[in-house]
Amino acid sequence: MGYLSFAGTILGGLFKKPVTTQYPLKPAVLPEELRGRVLIDIQRCISCGMCMRKCPAGAIVVDRSAKSWSINRFACVQCATCVDNCPVKCLRMEPQYAAPGTVKQNETFVKQAAAQPAVAVTLVKGVTPTASAPATGTQAAAASAATAAKTAAAPQTTPPGDGAGHA
């Protein structure tokens, strides 16, 4: 016969815990080896531009004169080619995915002469950064012609320059 032969597993399933994880109600448990997102130790960067040339997605922009390193997290495919090719090994992959957002934006890191690295967030498509950005005097190198200002539409990303875990 074999009718209802699956009933054993099905009824057993009723009494077992669900296997689905409770993300995002509970934080995700991700392994160490995960290729989550790229982080840079900007003070060690020598602005050689190797990562920019090797990136298959064209997500990295390096400006030698302004000593900035900028990544478009939505274009990045987490292949870790930049990490492998950096001559001073200032890039690393962090096992934490980039946070979702409502606006596509670049994340720019600028090497400071002083001790504190400054982080500024520029929004593409010519939106001015909101006033609460913790950047010091040097604004980001990417040009941001302020045409139409979207008021408070952009979420601020927390400055991840120091490798803080959860974005």
Partner 1 sequence: MSELMNNLLFGIAYLILAPVVGGLLAGCDRIITARMQRRVGPPLLQPFYDVLKLTEKQEIAVNLIQDFYVGGFLLFVMISGIFFFTRGDILLVVFTLTLASVCLIVAAYSSNSPYSQIGAERELIQTMSYEPMLLMVAIGFYLATGTFSLSEIMHGHAAGIIFLPGVFLGLVYILGIKFRKSPFDLAMSHHAHQELIKGTVTEFSGKTLAMVEVAHWYENIFLLGFVYLFFVWSAGWSILLGLLACAVVFFFEILVDNCCSRIKWQALLKSTWLVSLVAGFINLLILMYMR
Partner 2 sequence: MGKHTVVPFGPQHPVLPEPIHLDLELDDEKVVRAIPSIGYIHRGLEKLVEKREFKEYVFIAERICGICAFGHGWGYCKSVEGLMNIEIPLRAKYLRTIWHELSRIHSHLLWLGLMADGMGFESLFMHSWRLREKVLDIFEKTTGGRVIFSACKIGGVRRDIEDSELHGIAEILRGMRDEVREITDIFFKEPTSVSRLKDVGILSKEAAVATCAVGPMVRASGIPLDYRVADTSGVYRELNFTPVTTDTCDCYGRCWVRVQEIFASLDMICQAIEKIPAGDIAVPVKGNPNGEYFARLEQPRGEAFYYVKGNNTTHLTRFRVRTPTNMNLPAMVEALKGCDYADVPMIVLTIDPCISCTER
Closer residue to partner 2 (CB): 14 or 145: 14
Closer residue to partner 1 (CB): 24 or 137: 24
**Residue 78 interacts with partner 2 (CB under 8 A): yes or no:** yes
CB 60 within 8 A of CB 71: yes
**Residue 6 interacts with partner 1 (CB under 8 A): yes or no:** yes
Dihedral Cα 142, 147, 150, 155, nearest 10 deg: 0
* Residues in CB range of 47: below 8 A, 6 or more apart: 62, 63, 64, 67, 69, 111
Closer residue to partner 2 (CB): 78 or 144: 78
CB 45 within 8 A of CB 111: yes
Task: Draw the binding track, 83-112, toward partner 2 (x: CB under 8 A; -: no contact).
Answer: -x--------x-------------------
**Residue 77 interacts with partner 2 (CB under 8 A): yes or no:** yes
> In three state form, how does the secondary structure of 142-160 look?
CCCCCCCCCCCCCCCCCCC
Considering CB distances under 5 to 8 angstroms, the limit depending on partner class, which of partner 2, partner 1, none binds residue 93? partner 2
Q: Which residues bind partner 1 (CB under 8 A)?
A: 3-7, 10-11, 13-14, 16, 18-20, 22
